[in-house]
């Protein structure tokens, strides 16, 4: 069965410092991987995706993610964090089989960026 793990409930970073939000996955076949961000009282917003190609994927708001097949990881990164990056971040993998298209989400990681 496909699954996603986000091992950290919360990540605390000082503004201007680099940030990493971790994600590991388990899927049969080639994974399609996604990162979404959720601000309070708002829906999920797409950040970036990995389908194929370069292992380093660049997305919205200066975020990037590195796909590592051997470690089955897809960590989200940003070189310099902003206070406005504080939000809930979800990693997701696309499922296969009878439910083509739907996403399986991790439990989320709360990112807190302090001034």
Burial per residue of 40-55, b for 16 or more beta-carbon CB atoms within 10 angstroms, e otherwise: eeeebeebbbbeeeee
- For the four alpha carbons of 69, 31, 35 and 89, in that order, the dihedral sign comes to negative
Report if residue 94 touches other proteins, rule: CB under 8 A: yes
Residues 56 and 114: their CA atoms lie apart, in Å, by: 27
Report if residue 42 touches other proteins, rule: CB under 8 A: yes
Report if residue 26 touches other proteins, rule: CB under 8 A: no
- What is the CA angle 96-100-103, rounded to 5? 80
Binding range to other proteins, per CB under 8 A, among 13-21, 70-78, 79-87, 104-112: 104-112
Using CB under 8 A, pick the residue from 7, 17, 28, 51 that binds other proteins: 51
Structural tokens at position 64: 């990037």
Report if residue 75 touches other proteins, rule: CB under 8 A: no
Least spacing, CB of residue 99 vs other proteins, in Å: 4
Render 75-90 in DSSP notation, one character per residue: EEEESS--GGG-EEEE
Report if residue 47 touches other proteins, rule: CB under 8 A: no
Q: Which is nearer to other proteins, 12 or 60 (CB)?
A: 60
Q: Which residues bind other proteins (CB under 8 A)?
A: 4, 32, 34, 36, 41-46, 49, 51, 90, 92, 94, 98-108
């Amino acid at each position: 069965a496909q699954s996603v793990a986000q091992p950290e409930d919360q990540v605390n970073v000082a503004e201007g410092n680099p940030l990493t939000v971790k994600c590991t996955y388990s899927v049969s076949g080639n994974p399609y991987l996604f990162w979404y961000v959720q601000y309070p009282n708002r829906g999920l917003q797409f950040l970036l995706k990995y389908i194929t190609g370069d292992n380093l994927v660049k997305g919205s708001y200066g975020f990037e993610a590195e796909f590592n097949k051997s470690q089955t990881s897809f960590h989200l990164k940003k070189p310099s964090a902003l206070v406005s990056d504080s939000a809930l971040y979800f990693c997701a993998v696309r499922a296969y089989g009878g439910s083509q298209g739907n996403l399986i989400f991790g439990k989320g990681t709360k990112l807190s960026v302090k001034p």
